Amino acid sequence: MKISEYNKSECIFIDANIFLDYSLPNPKYGESAAFFLEKIELSEIKAVTTPIVLDEVSFIILMQKGSLLLKIQDRKVIIKSIKNDVNFSNLCYESVEEFNDFIECLKGLKIVSVNFKDYKQASELGKKYLLLPSDALHASVMENNKIRNIATRDEDFERIEGITVWKS
């Protein structure tokens, strides 16, 4: 299913790659991500995500900005620079702050908390569906909030019973 065709009244969970396709931007998937997120901004779609997803996105945006500024790909060097150079850190965090401002504009987006029940259940789902921990946690949050749709390019979610994957 394509996210550009999503028109259900049910909530849809947004995975990190959808935000990244828009924010970085991705030449292949950016346009469909932008169209989808615009529907959320206008409250035409009700969507959900978690602080964990936003943290994933923020980290990648931070690292991408650091990589562009330093003109290198070495994560260790970028992280060290962020931790030791206040000016560099501030420049990198400007991109994260822009993303945060964008998230605030998405009127149809609800950020749901992750609790211990979600965390504990994630291990069971990870084993059952062969998921890595963060994906298992997303699946657990979805299950506990009765969300049956996810916007993602991550094919691992296709293994989960009862979940419909909407791709860019």
Residue 11: phi and psi, rounded to 5, are -70, 150
Q: How far, in Å, CA of 164 to CA of 116, rounded? A: 25
Give the domain ranges of the chain.
3-56+106-166
DSSP class of residue 29 equals T
pTM, whole model, 2 decimals?
Answer: 0.95
> Which tens digit of pLDDT belongs to each residue from 82-111?
999 999 999 999 999 999 999 999 999 999
Torsion (CA) 145, 134, 149, 22 in degrees, nearest 10: 120
Q: pLDDT value at position 25?
A: 80
Coil, helix or strand at residue 2: strand
Q: Which CATH architecture has domain 3-56+106-166?
A: 3-Layer(aba) Sandwich (3.40)
Q: Looking at 11-106, list the stretches that DSSP marks H as alpha helix, in order from N- to C-terminal side.
A: 16-23, 30-41, 51-70, 75-84, 86-105
> Which tens digit of pLDDT belongs to each residue from 103-149?
999 999 999 999 999 999 999 999 999 999 999 999 999 999 999 99
Count of positions (residues) in the chain: 168
Whether the CB-CB separation of 134 and 52 falls below 8 Å is answered with: yes
Q: pLDDT value at position 35?
A: 96
